[in-house]
Chain A
Amino acid sequence: MKKTSPSLRWVVLAALVLAPLVLPAFWLQNIFAKAAVFGIVALSLSFLNTYGGMVSMAQMAAAGLAAYAMAYTSINGSGLGVPLPWPLALLISLTVGTVFGALTGWIASRTRDVYLLMLTLAIGMGVFSFAQQNTELFNAFDGINGVAAPRLGHLSLNAPIPFYVLSVGLAWLLLVLVNHVVRTPFGLALQGLRDSDRRLAALGYRVTLHKVAAFALAGFMASVGGVLMLWYQGQIAPGSVGLAAATNILVIAVLGGLRRPAGAFAGALVFVLLQTFATDLFFRDRYNTLIGAVFLLVVLFLPSGVLGLTDLVSRLRRATRTRQAGEQSSSIP
């Protein structure tokens, strides 16, 4: 378990706080806030993998279900659902996602490694198929669109600066939560589970319960991301929970390095930057090739993800310092 150095954290924090004063709305909303939202969903995947040893491809499905629940209980342009006051709608959505997470964890409790990846992929695809076919709750192929974000007074939550503050703020909070949880007895048991669940069971821990709880927490985090995603897009459709969407979250988590939680956000930022500007820099529509190639390079050569580059820098610095010390000592007559 690695953590980003304290000085780096203060720099990042300062940059994020100052950003609304300096950057135009496009950057705040479509780059940083978007990266925060995807990062939150990727964080849930990263958390499960790093501390639980479980790669779940169902995180986007959890986020999507929460988004659908929120859209269903909000005023929308598809004429579907029952509008409720937004705090109640929010509670329902987060519950839906968390319960889905717990259910996924329960179904997956007997599988491990690549089988778990495939199982959660199947669950995600099952949710996608259902969403695409069902008209009563999901509005089938069309999805639910024209969803209005809640208003606080005369401030709409999906205006650039409020949305930026909300998403980046929540991202920070969830990161703090993850870092806290992994140091609690539950978190330690989870890591024990990652290393050897048979040993953990022998010690008297209830392995299945721990897995379900971990997945539930991941589901909760993904739900937060899902609701934010709904407010950002103003709509939710089956494509948002499909295979491509699930793969993107995996790509983001891997780009960020699966060894530290904050990596998810670094990965998300890289992803969003590539997605937004590749069309201008690279051949028009080939940004998938670009992202795929970057992903391959990271998997093959940078197991710590793009943040591994900072490790590279510090390693180089240490190497040069050692070399300089060596030279000095050898030059003493």
Chain B
Amino acid sequence: MTTRLLVNVALNGLTLAALYFIVASGFSIVFGLLRTVNMAHGALYLLGAYIGYDVAAAHGWWWGVLAAAIAVGLLGAAMQKWLLDRLQGQDLRQALVTIGLSIVLGDLLLARYGGLTYQFDPPDALYGSVRLPADLGGYPTFRLFLIGVALAVGLGLWLLMYRTRLGMAIRAGVDDRAMLSAMGFNVPRLFILVFALGAAMAGLAGVIGGSALSVAPGEDARYLMSSLVVVIVGGMGSLGGAALGALLVAYAEQIGLVLFPHYAILLTFVIMIAVLAVRPRGLLGRA
């Protein structure tokens, strides 16, 4: 393996892990507090990507990002308030409802945007390539930007969870929901806020991921699966776990693609199966 290839694999893994972390963070938050497996997470990602594309085409990329996050966040709040809240405690039924929503949303998006692939036009500062030192070639600037975004998201969520009253309530809720309610927190409203936050993250990730790669039907299923794997491997409700899971999965994929390209995709599932079978609560998760 040449140095160039090694450096590329290292960077590819890191940037892909950043993308997976950004996408999975919303899923992890919702899974962590509400114990809801939001199988519509991928559909929300795709919705954010399309909304972001429309807004970005008219007003610019940054507005697209903002619009995607807000719009999908509002939808998430609506989902929690009207559909999921009444099923609180029935994990399986909640998962089924989100599956139904993902089917409907996926099909409606297909109807509206068709089967074409869309490419974002990121701002010029973010597009193009960065020349790596020592004649190692170029590397896409936007992918390096992903690392920055992932760090920002991670830091922001960490501050929220560990340095605010809201975050304290969320963490308490993971351990004991009843006690939280007894202490006077408006639990239903808290849940709506959390779900909206998770959905907003999905929408944001849609624009980010869409700009790094592209937007097309089928991306919803792909990112749902990757978020599932990342959160399972890393552990429920743990941000650090999501980061660890993202790194593990991304590097497994990239190294796999170099060593045995035909079956590299399988590696992701093998890892997920192995972790679920042996340590169901994930590497850094708690019971």
Contact = CB atoms under 8 A, between A and B. Distances in A.
A63 B107 CA distance: 26
- If over half of B's interface residues share one DSSP class (helix, strand or loop), that class is named, otherwise mixed; here it is helix
Interface stretch (B16-24, B51-59, B87-95, B129-137): B87-95
A133 interface: yes
B157 to A, nearest CB: 23
B100 to A, nearest CB: 4
Interface in B104-147: 104, 106-108, 111
B107 A286 contact: yes
B284 to A, nearest CB: 16
A142 to B, nearest CB: 15
A300 B93 CA distance: 8
A140 B171 CA distance: 46
A1 to B, nearest CB: 18
Given A114-B91, A122-B273, A292-B104, A250 B99 contact: yes
Closest 6 CB pairs of A and B: A292-B103, A292-B104, A126-B269, A296-B100, A288-B107, A119-B276
B262 interface: yes
Interface of A: 55, 107-108, 110-111, 113-115, 117-119, 121-123, 125-126, 129-130, 133-134, 243, 247, 250-251, 254, 285-286, 288-289, 291-293, 295-296, 299-300, 303
B95 A133 contact: no
A122 B269 contact: yes
Given A113-B91, A295-B100, A299-B96, A119 B273 contact: yes
B277 A293 contact: no
24 contacts: A111-B280, A113-B91, A114-B95, A117-B37, A118-B276, A119-B277, A121-B228, A122-B229, A122-B273, A125-B269, A126-B266, A126-B270, A134-B263, A243-B221, A247-B103, A285-B111, A286-B111, A289-B103, A292-B100, A292-B104, A296-B101, A299-B97, A299-B100, A300-B83
A247 to B, nearest CB: 7
A190 B97 CA distance: 27
B92 A133 contact: no
Contact of A114 (B37, B229, B262): B37
B106 A288 contact: yes
B257 interface: no
A305 to B, nearest CB: 12
Contacts of B103: 247, 251, 288-289, 291-292, 295
Given A55-B92, A243-B221, A286-B111, A129 B265 contact: yes
Nearest to B272: A122
B97 A133 contact: no
